[in-house]
Amino acid sequence: MIIADILNYLLQLGTVFLLATEGSLVVQRAGLLNLGIEGFFAMAAFVAYLVQVMTGNFALSMLAAVCVAVAMNMIFTVLTVHLRLNHIVSGLAVAMFGVGLAYAFGRSLVQIPVYVQLPVLNIGGIYIDPIEILSFIIVGLLWFMMYKTKLGYKIRIVGEDPYVADMLGIDITKVRYIATLIEGALVGMAACYYILVSAGAWSEGVTAGKGWLAIVLAMMGLWDPLYAVAAVYTVVTIRDLIRLVPGIGENVFLLEAFSYIIAISLLAVVSHFEIKKRKRVSIPLALAKVYSREERARKYT
Protein backbone atom coordinates (compact mmCIF):
# COMPACT_ATOMS: atom_id res chain seq x y z
CA MET A 1 0.00 0.00 0.00
CA ILE A 2 2.85 2.33 0.78
CA ILE A 3 4.13 1.93 -2.74
CA ALA A 4 0.74 2.87 -4.14
CA ASP A 5 0.68 5.94 -1.90
CA ILE A 6 4.06 6.98 -3.09
CA LEU A 7 3.06 6.50 -6.68
CA ASN A 8 -0.08 8.53 -6.18
CA TYR A 9 1.92 11.30 -4.62
CA LEU A 10 4.49 11.28 -7.41
CA LEU A 11 1.84 11.22 -10.09
CA GLN A 12 0.13 14.22 -8.57
CA LEU A 13 3.31 16.25 -8.29
CA GLY A 14 4.52 15.01 -11.64
CA THR A 15 1.35 16.26 -13.28
CA VAL A 16 1.91 19.76 -11.95
CA PHE A 17 5.43 19.86 -13.30
CA LEU A 18 4.56 18.09 -16.50
CA LEU A 19 1.93 20.66 -17.44
CA ALA A 20 4.13 23.62 -16.55
CA THR A 21 7.15 22.09 -18.25
CA GLU A 22 5.31 21.38 -21.48
CA GLY A 23 4.12 24.95 -21.45
CA SER A 24 7.58 26.35 -20.98
CA LEU A 25 8.86 24.02 -23.64
CA VAL A 26 6.53 25.42 -26.25
CA VAL A 27 7.61 29.04 -25.77
CA GLN A 28 11.25 28.12 -25.56
CA ARG A 29 10.84 26.30 -28.82
CA ALA A 30 9.56 29.55 -30.26
CA GLY A 31 12.78 31.21 -29.10
CA LEU A 32 11.43 33.03 -26.07
CA LEU A 33 13.21 32.39 -22.81
CA ASN A 34 10.42 33.22 -20.41
CA LEU A 35 11.68 33.40 -16.85
CA GLY A 36 8.39 34.94 -15.79
CA ILE A 37 6.69 31.59 -15.18
CA GLU A 38 7.47 31.77 -11.48
CA GLY A 39 5.41 34.96 -11.36
CA PHE A 40 2.33 33.90 -13.20
CA PHE A 41 2.34 30.46 -11.66
CA ALA A 42 1.99 32.22 -8.31
CA MET A 43 -0.71 34.58 -9.60
CA ALA A 44 -2.67 31.80 -11.28
CA ALA A 45 -2.49 29.64 -8.16
CA PHE A 46 -3.66 32.54 -6.05
CA VAL A 47 -6.58 33.36 -8.31
CA ALA A 48 -7.60 29.71 -8.56
CA TYR A 49 -7.61 29.49 -4.79
CA LEU A 50 -9.61 32.68 -4.46
CA VAL A 51 -12.25 31.62 -6.97
CA GLN A 52 -12.49 28.19 -5.39
CA VAL A 53 -13.04 29.70 -1.95
CA MET A 54 -15.70 32.03 -3.29
CA THR A 55 -17.58 29.76 -5.68
CA GLY A 56 -16.52 26.22 -4.86
CA ASN A 57 -16.50 25.47 -8.56
CA PHE A 58 -13.33 23.74 -9.76
CA ALA A 59 -13.95 24.32 -13.45
CA LEU A 60 -14.46 28.00 -12.85
CA SER A 61 -11.27 28.21 -10.81
CA MET A 62 -9.41 26.49 -13.58
CA LEU A 63 -10.77 28.92 -16.12
CA ALA A 64 -9.83 31.90 -13.99
CA ALA A 65 -6.32 30.57 -13.44
CA VAL A 66 -5.81 30.01 -17.13
CA CYS A 67 -7.05 33.50 -17.97
CA VAL A 68 -4.80 35.17 -15.43
CA ALA A 69 -1.76 33.18 -16.52
CA VAL A 70 -2.38 33.98 -20.17
CA ALA A 71 -2.92 37.65 -19.45
CA MET A 72 0.22 37.98 -17.39
CA ASN A 73 2.21 36.09 -19.93
CA MET A 74 1.16 38.64 -22.52
CA ILE A 75 3.11 41.30 -20.60
CA PHE A 76 6.25 39.31 -21.26
CA THR A 77 5.42 38.87 -24.91
CA VAL A 78 4.72 42.56 -25.41
CA LEU A 79 8.02 43.48 -23.76
CA THR A 80 10.12 41.04 -25.75
CA VAL A 81 8.37 40.83 -29.11
CA HIS A 82 7.12 44.37 -29.61
CA LEU A 83 9.51 46.40 -27.50
CA ARG A 84 12.41 44.07 -28.38
CA LEU A 85 13.67 44.01 -24.81
CA ASN A 86 16.01 41.53 -23.27
CA HIS A 87 14.25 38.27 -22.43
CA ILE A 88 16.06 37.61 -19.20
CA VAL A 89 15.38 40.95 -17.54
CA SER A 90 11.81 41.09 -18.81
CA GLY A 91 11.18 37.61 -17.48
CA LEU A 92 12.70 38.35 -14.11
CA ALA A 93 10.65 41.55 -13.85
CA VAL A 94 7.43 39.67 -14.60
CA ALA A 95 8.43 37.04 -12.07
CA MET A 96 9.06 39.64 -9.35
CA PHE A 97 5.82 41.40 -10.15
CA GLY A 98 3.71 38.26 -10.16
CA VAL A 99 5.16 36.68 -7.05
CA GLY A 100 4.98 39.97 -5.15
CA LEU A 101 1.39 40.63 -6.14
CA ALA A 102 0.20 37.10 -5.43
CA TYR A 103 1.65 36.98 -1.96
CA ALA A 104 0.71 40.55 -1.12
CA PHE A 105 -2.94 39.77 -1.85
CA GLY A 106 -2.67 36.27 -0.45
CA ARG A 107 -1.57 37.61 2.93
CA SER A 108 -4.93 39.24 3.48
CA LEU A 109 -6.80 35.99 2.92
CA VAL A 110 -8.01 33.60 5.54
CA GLN A 111 -6.08 30.54 4.69
CA ILE A 112 -8.72 27.84 4.79
CA PRO A 113 -7.90 24.49 3.24
CA VAL A 114 -10.00 23.72 0.19
CA TYR A 115 -8.88 20.29 -0.97
CA VAL A 116 -10.73 19.46 -4.13
CA GLN A 117 -11.58 15.80 -4.61
CA LEU A 118 -11.65 15.04 -8.30
CA PRO A 119 -13.39 11.90 -9.49
CA VAL A 120 -10.79 9.17 -9.84
CA LEU A 121 -10.11 5.97 -11.67
CA ASN A 122 -8.84 3.31 -9.30
CA ILE A 123 -6.30 1.00 -10.87
CA GLY A 124 -4.96 -1.34 -8.24
CA GLY A 125 -4.76 1.31 -5.55
CA ILE A 126 -3.46 3.95 -7.86
CA TYR A 127 -5.91 6.76 -8.27
CA ILE A 128 -5.86 8.59 -11.53
CA ASP A 129 -7.82 11.77 -11.87
CA PRO A 130 -8.97 13.43 -15.12
CA ILE A 131 -6.28 16.11 -15.06
CA GLU A 132 -3.59 13.49 -14.79
CA ILE A 133 -5.00 11.73 -17.81
CA LEU A 134 -5.35 15.06 -19.53
CA SER A 135 -1.71 15.89 -18.92
CA PHE A 136 -0.65 12.82 -20.87
CA ILE A 137 -3.12 13.55 -23.63
CA ILE A 138 -1.67 17.02 -23.85
CA VAL A 139 1.83 15.58 -24.18
CA GLY A 140 0.63 13.50 -27.10
CA LEU A 141 -1.11 16.44 -28.71
CA LEU A 142 1.89 18.69 -28.31
CA TRP A 143 4.15 16.08 -29.78
CA PHE A 144 1.82 15.75 -32.74
CA MET A 145 1.56 19.49 -33.10
CA MET A 146 5.30 20.01 -32.87
CA TYR A 147 6.37 17.44 -35.43
CA LYS A 148 3.37 16.84 -37.64
CA THR A 149 1.58 20.11 -38.14
CA LYS A 150 2.31 23.35 -39.91
CA LEU A 151 2.10 25.28 -36.67
CA GLY A 152 4.69 23.01 -35.11
CA TYR A 153 7.08 23.55 -37.98
CA LYS A 154 6.57 27.26 -37.70
CA ILE A 155 7.22 27.30 -33.97
CA ARG A 156 10.42 25.34 -34.43
CA ILE A 157 11.75 27.51 -37.23
CA VAL A 158 10.95 30.71 -35.38
CA GLY A 159 12.96 29.41 -32.45
CA GLU A 160 15.78 28.21 -34.61
CA ASP A 161 16.30 31.29 -36.73
CA PRO A 162 13.74 34.11 -36.78
CA TYR A 163 15.33 35.74 -39.82
CA VAL A 164 14.90 32.57 -41.84
CA ALA A 165 11.36 32.23 -40.57
CA ASP A 166 10.64 35.76 -41.65
CA MET A 167 12.04 35.16 -45.10
CA LEU A 168 9.87 32.04 -45.37
CA GLY A 169 6.86 34.24 -44.81
CA ILE A 170 6.10 33.05 -41.30
CA ASP A 171 4.36 35.59 -39.09
CA ILE A 172 6.77 35.56 -36.18
CA THR A 173 4.67 37.73 -33.93
CA LYS A 174 1.62 35.55 -34.39
CA VAL A 175 3.53 32.33 -33.82
CA ARG A 176 5.11 33.72 -30.67
CA TYR A 177 1.74 34.85 -29.37
CA ILE A 178 0.27 31.42 -29.98
CA ALA A 179 3.17 29.85 -28.13
CA THR A 180 2.72 32.22 -25.19
CA LEU A 181 -0.97 31.46 -25.18
CA ILE A 182 -0.32 27.74 -24.97
CA GLU A 183 2.21 28.28 -22.24
CA GLY A 184 -0.09 30.52 -20.26
CA ALA A 185 -2.92 28.02 -20.48
CA LEU A 186 -0.79 25.05 -19.46
CA VAL A 187 0.91 26.87 -16.59
CA GLY A 188 -2.46 28.16 -15.44
CA MET A 189 -3.79 24.60 -15.36
CA ALA A 190 -0.72 23.40 -13.54
CA ALA A 191 -1.04 26.14 -10.94
CA CYS A 192 -4.72 25.50 -10.37
CA TYR A 193 -4.22 21.76 -10.07
CA TYR A 194 -1.34 22.26 -7.72
CA ILE A 195 -2.97 24.65 -5.31
CA LEU A 196 -6.40 23.00 -5.21
CA VAL A 197 -5.64 19.32 -5.55
CA SER A 198 -2.08 18.86 -4.41
CA ALA A 199 -1.36 21.59 -1.83
CA GLY A 200 -4.95 22.23 -0.88
CA ALA A 201 -4.50 25.66 0.67
CA TRP A 202 -2.82 28.97 0.13
CA SER A 203 0.11 29.62 2.39
CA GLU A 204 3.28 31.67 2.47
CA GLY A 205 5.61 30.49 -0.28
CA VAL A 206 3.48 27.53 -1.51
CA THR A 207 4.43 28.04 -5.12
CA ALA A 208 8.06 28.95 -4.55
CA GLY A 209 10.45 27.47 -7.08
CA LYS A 210 7.84 25.69 -9.19
CA GLY A 211 8.25 27.97 -12.18
CA TRP A 212 12.03 27.96 -12.16
CA LEU A 213 12.08 24.20 -12.06
CA ALA A 214 9.66 23.99 -14.99
CA ILE A 215 12.03 26.07 -17.12
CA VAL A 216 14.98 23.86 -16.28
CA LEU A 217 12.96 20.69 -16.85
CA ALA A 218 11.97 21.90 -20.31
CA MET A 219 15.63 22.32 -21.14
CA MET A 220 16.49 18.99 -19.58
CA GLY A 221 13.88 17.38 -21.77
CA LEU A 222 15.81 18.81 -24.69
CA TRP A 223 12.71 20.77 -25.70
CA ASP A 224 10.94 17.62 -26.80
CA PRO A 225 7.43 16.93 -25.46
CA LEU A 226 8.15 13.22 -24.94
CA TYR A 227 11.61 13.59 -23.44
CA ALA A 228 10.15 16.17 -21.12
CA VAL A 229 7.96 13.47 -19.55
CA ALA A 230 11.07 11.50 -18.76
CA ALA A 231 12.85 14.55 -17.39
CA VAL A 232 9.92 15.55 -15.20
CA TYR A 233 9.29 12.15 -13.71
CA THR A 234 12.96 11.36 -13.13
CA VAL A 235 13.60 14.59 -11.31
CA VAL A 236 10.36 14.53 -9.36
CA THR A 237 10.97 10.95 -8.34
CA ILE A 238 14.52 11.44 -7.17
CA ARG A 239 13.77 14.72 -5.46
CA ASP A 240 10.66 13.73 -3.64
CA LEU A 241 11.34 10.12 -2.80
CA ILE A 242 14.25 11.21 -0.65
CA ARG A 243 11.97 13.16 1.62
CA LEU A 244 9.99 10.02 2.30
CA VAL A 245 12.97 8.00 3.53
CA PRO A 246 12.31 7.39 7.24
CA GLY A 247 14.75 8.82 9.75
CA ILE A 248 16.54 10.94 7.22
CA GLY A 249 16.24 14.11 9.28
CA GLU A 250 18.39 17.00 8.21
CA ASN A 251 20.55 14.89 5.93
CA VAL A 252 17.73 15.38 3.47
CA PHE A 253 19.50 18.50 2.21
CA LEU A 254 22.64 16.64 1.31
CA LEU A 255 20.64 13.97 -0.47
CA GLU A 256 18.61 16.55 -2.27
CA ALA A 257 21.80 18.19 -3.48
CA PHE A 258 22.81 14.78 -4.74
CA SER A 259 19.50 14.37 -6.52
CA TYR A 260 20.26 17.48 -8.57
CA ILE A 261 23.73 16.21 -9.29
CA ILE A 262 22.22 12.96 -10.53
CA ALA A 263 19.85 14.97 -12.69
CA ILE A 264 22.75 16.90 -14.18
CA SER A 265 24.66 13.69 -14.85
CA LEU A 266 21.67 12.12 -16.54
CA LEU A 267 21.31 15.21 -18.64
CA ALA A 268 24.98 15.05 -19.57
CA VAL A 269 24.66 11.47 -20.69
CA VAL A 270 21.47 11.98 -22.69
CA SER A 271 22.80 15.11 -24.28
CA HIS A 272 26.06 13.42 -25.13
CA PHE A 273 24.30 10.77 -27.11
CA GLU A 274 21.40 12.75 -28.52
CA ILE A 275 22.44 16.30 -29.25
CA LYS A 276 25.86 15.34 -30.47
CA LYS A 277 24.44 12.97 -32.99
CA ARG A 278 21.72 15.48 -33.84
CA LYS A 279 19.40 12.59 -34.38
CA ARG A 280 15.93 13.73 -33.75
CA VAL A 281 16.28 16.66 -31.49
CA SER A 282 16.74 20.08 -32.90
CA ILE A 283 17.33 22.88 -30.48
CA PRO A 284 15.98 26.43 -30.34
CA LEU A 285 19.21 28.12 -31.34
CA ALA A 286 17.70 31.58 -31.16
CA LEU A 287 16.57 31.13 -27.56
CA ALA A 288 16.57 34.48 -25.75
CA LYS A 289 17.74 36.39 -28.82
CA VAL A 290 15.77 39.48 -29.70
CA TYR A 291 14.75 39.65 -33.33
CA SER A 292 14.36 42.86 -35.25
CA ARG A 293 13.99 42.52 -38.99
CA GLU A 294 15.84 45.57 -40.18
CA GLU A 295 18.82 45.20 -37.91
CA ARG A 296 21.39 42.75 -38.99
CA ALA A 297 23.82 43.33 -36.17
CA ARG A 298 22.09 43.16 -32.84
CA LYS A 299 24.24 41.38 -30.39
CA TYR A 300 23.18 42.05 -26.87
CA THR A 301 19.86 43.05 -25.37
Ligand X SMILES: Nc1ncnc2c1ncn2[C@@H]1O[C@H](COP(=O)(O)OP(=O)(O)OP(=O)(O)O)[C@@H](O)[C@H]1O
Residues that bind ligand X (CB under 6 A): 294, 296
**Least CB distance from residue 296 to ligand X, whole Å?**
4
Q: Cβ 300 to another protein, closest distance in Å? A: 5
Q: Which does 57 bind (CB under 5 to 8 A by kind): ligand X, another protein, none?
A: none
Residue type, 35: L
Can you tell me which of 54, 55, 57, 96 binds another protein, judged by CB under 8 A?
96
The reply on whether position 277 binds another protein by CB under 8 A is: no
Interface residue with another protein among 13, 20, 99, 192 (CB under 8 A) is 99
149 binds, among ligand X, another protein, none (CB under 5 to 8 A by kind): another protein
Contact 160, 28 (CB under 8 A): no
200 Cβ neighbours under 8 A, 6+ residues apart? 113, 114, 115, 116
**Does the protein bind another protein through residue 266 (CB under 8 A)?**
no
Closest approach, Cβ 223 to another protein, in A, equals: 10
Q: How far is the CB of 165 from ligand X (least distance, A)?
A: 17
User: Which of these ranges, 56-64, 116-124, 136-144, 161-169, lies near another protein under the rule CB under 8 A?
Assistant: 161-169
Contacts of 206 (CB under 8 A, 6+ apart): 45, 195, 199
Contact between 208 and another protein by CB under 8 A: the answer reads no
* 86 contacts another protein (rule: CB under 8 A): yes
In the region spanning residues 244 to 263, those forming contacts with another protein, defined by CB under 8 A, are: 250-251, 253-254, 256-257, 260-261, 263
Where does this chain touch another protein (CB under 8 A) — which range of 117-125, 179-187, 191-199, 211-219? 211-219
Q: Which does 137 bind (CB under 5 to 8 A by kind): another protein, ligand X, none?
A: none
Closer CB to ligand X, 265 or 292, in the complex: 292
Contact positions with another protein (CB under 8 A) in 216-235: 216, 219-220
Closest to another protein by CB, 16 vs 219, is: 219
Any contact of residue 275 with another protein (CB under 8 A)? yes
| Contact between residue 159 and residue 26 where contact means Cβ atoms under 8 Å apart | no
